[in-house]
Structure 1
Amino acid sequence: MFISKKEIEIRYAETDQMGVVYHANYLVWMEIGRTQLIKDLGFSYAELEKRGIVSPVVDLSISYKRPTHYGETVTIKTWIQENTGVQTSYAYEVVNEQGEVCIEATSRHVCVNKEDFRPIIVKRVLPEWHKVYEENKYKVEE
């Protein structure tokens, strides 16, 4: 299993009146983590879109464990939780400088044709992506 890591310096604009990172900003950070994972695996989401394929979110789950604040640096860890060839689930952890988990999250995506939003079979249309995702996804210990 490959885990991508991306540091994020928390900006003032990402916090609410209490000085805590506003919850919706974690969605943006998840996208940053997912984009970094794709890059680390040797691909480009922008290139995927140029090929007429997009990957919308179809399910999302976030569990908030502890707050993060302006001025802190956090690390978003991202990995492939599941890959069926039609759907991919990514998992995330945002970890603070003390190594404490601040959020745990998952997002599920389906690759679709940009023109008509019909699902594509990644194994057939993007065999190189499918192979690398299979090689790097989470594996249950046996």
Structure 2
Amino acid sequence: MDEWKPYQHKVQYYETDQMGIVHHSNYIRWSEEARTDYMEQMGMGYDQMEEKGIISPVLSVEAEYLRMVHFGDTVTIETFVKEYNGVKLTVGYEVISSKTQMVCCRGFTRHCFLNREGKPLSLKRACLDFHNMFAKGLENHKNK
């Protein structure tokens, strides 16, 4: 994943409140869209993970809202592996205004890995390809 492209999103009318400002809940949706895109660009998406019997529920979400985004704006969402230990994964996000290049929202999601029965698993043991993908993502982020 040497030529990763950040995820872009154009704000839709239904994502805004009465003042034309993006409702805070949409940043969480955009993070999920960006995370899915990021994994696909890294080489293996959620569909492949689930085919191997691995699920990755969200354990927690955090978002810090810094600037308003309005209807019609386009944002770029930079996604990165913030923490990874084989059992848990933290993905970071920065929502950047394409117009001003300023960060509008910064946040992260924490995940774990489970088998189909809901039991925790280590990706290093369960699927080395996914383990290596996330470990490489973490290393790439640390080297920036």
TM-score, structure 1 normalization? 0.92
Q: Look up the equivalent residue of 1:44 and give its one-letter code.
A: G
For 1:12 and 1:29, locate their aligned partners in 2 and report how far apart those are by CA, in whole Å: 15
Q: Relative contact order (alpha carbons < 8 A, sep ≥ 6): 1 or 2 greater?
A: 1
Unmatched tracts of structure 1, length 5 or more:
none
**2:134 maps to 1:100:** no
Partner of 1:54: 55
TM-score, structure 2 normalization? 0.91
Match of 1:139 among 135, 138, 142: 142
Partner of 1:113: 115
1:19 is paired with a residue whose SS is: coil
Q: Equivalent residues in 2 for 1:1-142 (5 A)?
A: 5-97=6-98, 98-114=100-116, 116-137=117-138, 138-139=141-142
Measured after TM superposition, the shift of residue 50 of structure 1 is 2.4
Q: Look up the equivalent residue of 1:61 and give its one-letter code.
A: E
Measured after TM superposition, the shift of residue 4 of structure 1 is 5.0
Unmatched tracts of structure 2, length 5 or more:
none
Bigger drift between 71-80 and 125-134 goes to 125-134
For 1:14 and 1:107, locate their aligned partners in 2 and report how far apart those are by CA, in whole Å: 21
**1:65-110 deviation digits (Å, cap 9, x = unpaired):** 0010111100011000011000000000000021010000011100
**1:41-78 deviation digits (Å, cap 9, x = unpaired):** 10021121222221111121110000101111000110
For 2:43 and 2:63, locate their aligned partners in 1 and report how far apart those are by CA, in whole Å: 27
Percent of pairs identical after alignment? 35
1:76 is paired with a residue whose SS is: strand
How many residues were matched structurally? 140
1:75 is paired with a residue whose SS is: strand
Contact 1:4–1:33 (Cα < 8 Å) also in 2: no
1:29 is paired with a residue whose SS is: helix
RMSD: 1.7
Contact 1:4–1:79 (Cα < 8 Å) also in 2: no
Q: Which runs of 4+ in 1 moved over 2 A?
A: 1-4
The structure carrying a bigger helix percent of its residues is: 2
Contact 1:4–1:78 (Cα < 8 Å) also in 2: no
